[in-house]
Amino acid sequence: MLLKALPVQGANPELPAGGPIDSAARFQTLAGLLYLEMSGAVGGPFFGFDVADRMLSLSAGTSSNGTLRFVDGNGNGLADSGDRIDVHLPSSVPSNTWNVYLLEVGDFSSAARTYAGGVHVILAGPGGPLEVPLPDRTAPVIDFRYAGSTGGSLVNTTIEVSRVHGAAPALSIVQVSVTMGTETVATPLSGLPTTFPNGATLSFSDANGDGRLDSGDRFTMQNIGNHTVIRLVLQATNAMIGAGAWIAGWGPIIGTPPYWVAFQMQGTNPWRATATVVSWSPELALNGTLRATLMENGGPVLSNVTLANGTGRAFANGTLTFTDADGDGFLSTGDFFSLQGNSANRYVLEVWYLFNSRWFALSV
């Protein structure tokens, strides 16, 4: 999706009401506002932007108005490294006219957020597209790459430093905090390896032995349960320099929790609740943390039961059955619950999942 900035809505010396984004300073201010919007600090889908063009699926290749074109670099049918999105903006614009565009993948700032999302800001004007960097940070910024997991019910899982923006910090000044499930361990990097109360261990490898945190260095969690959510936070000189989150055995967490599951009710005794799922997410695995609770006349008759294809859960007045319609092992569109109960009673079905040590309701 390509979004175009509206005239400034507020009124202050940096962004006067009705004014254009016509300088690097105003562009940086707008970028700060966009960061607040993306992080949820300010609300509203498409805050300050109009939709200029839209590609409903990358598989379409070209957007509705022809402004965007997706190129699958290796032809594997996936959005991955080396692929690109070409943006064809007007070749010429009137003098002293500037427009800010926001290129989004995954409707990242809208109510229908998908699991994978990303944004890129473009300032277009008489001199062509301009990308203005934000002011330099005094502390470095660390990017991580998920490096894989091995094992079965207990796994070893690793993330790797992929890039350091700024000067690589000395290992001696880096502090590490890791949260695994409900347990958190904080230690100087020099204190690794360390062991959690449940027996899991966290270790660090300085790939080139230079005593600095730089590309190729690795953090490894060992002896942890498959599908465990892990969060790693690094600090140096009283500033956060990096944060990563991943699911052991699955991969990195690159989006927001999957709130976008809805159920449509059909029929009467048996009742049928059919799921509509906007986007795949590892949290929706049937062998993960998905649970169901059934209330009858305000009281629980089934509590914290797992979702298994074709398995009926019996209670005094009936049975609740879940069907994985496409057999993919995930809660996905077309899967459904079937409830046979007492027509005179009132039933409420709750479906829950665990995300970052918190339980969320998908639908009630």
pLDDT in tens, 204-259: 999 999 999 999 999 999 998 877 778 888 998 777 888 887 878 777 765 555 55
136 inside domain: no
pTM over 0.75, yes/no: no
Report whether pLDDT(190) > 90. yes
| Residues 163 and 278 grouped into a single domain | no
Tell me, what's the pLDDT at 111? 43
Residue that is last in its domain, among 104, 131, 158: 131
pLDDT of residue 143: 83
My answer on whether 108 and 220 are in the same domain is no
Q: What angle do CA 103, 332, 84 make, to 5 degrees?
A: 25
Which letter does DSSP use for residue 327 in this model? -
- Residue that finishes a domain, picked among 76, 101, 131: 131
Indicate whether 172 belongs to any domain: yes
Task: Tell whether 242 and 178 lie within a shared domain.
Answer: yes
Instruction: Flag the least confident range among 50-54, 208-212, 328-332.
Output: 50-54
Are 10 and 123 within one domain?
A: yes
State how far the Cα of 176 lies from the Cα of 301, in Å rounded to an integer. 44
CA distances, 197 to each of 11, 19, 132, 182, 201 (Å): 54, 57, 47, 11, 9
Q: What residues contact 74, with CB distance under 8 A and at least 6 apart?
A: 80, 82, 83
Tell me the CA distances in angstroms from 309 to 227, 264, 324, one per residue in order. 20, 19, 5
Domain that holds residue 302: 261-362
Q: Is residue 23 in some structural domain?
A: yes
Domain identity same for 113 and 174: no
| pLDDT tens-place string over residues 75-106 | 888 877 788 888 887 665 666 666 777 787 76
Average pLDDT, the chain: 78
Q: Which residues contact 241 (CB under 8 A, 6 or more apart)?
A: 139, 140, 141, 142, 169, 174, 234, 235
The domain spanning residue 173 has which CATH number? 2.60.40
**Among residues 252, 276, 295, which one ends one of the domains?**
252
Does one domain contain both 80 and 32?
Answer: yes
Cβ pair 168, 213 in contact under 8 A: yes
pLDDT bracket for residue 344 (50, 70, 90): very high
The sign one gets for the Cα dihedral 353, 355, 359, 361 is negative
Residue 49 has pLDDT above 70, yes or no: no
In a domain, 137, yes or no: no
**What is the pLDDT at residue 262?**
80
User: Residue 187 to residues 146, 159, 180, 237, 323: CA-CA distances in angstroms?
Assistant: 22, 18, 14, 15, 46
Domain total for the chain?
A: 3
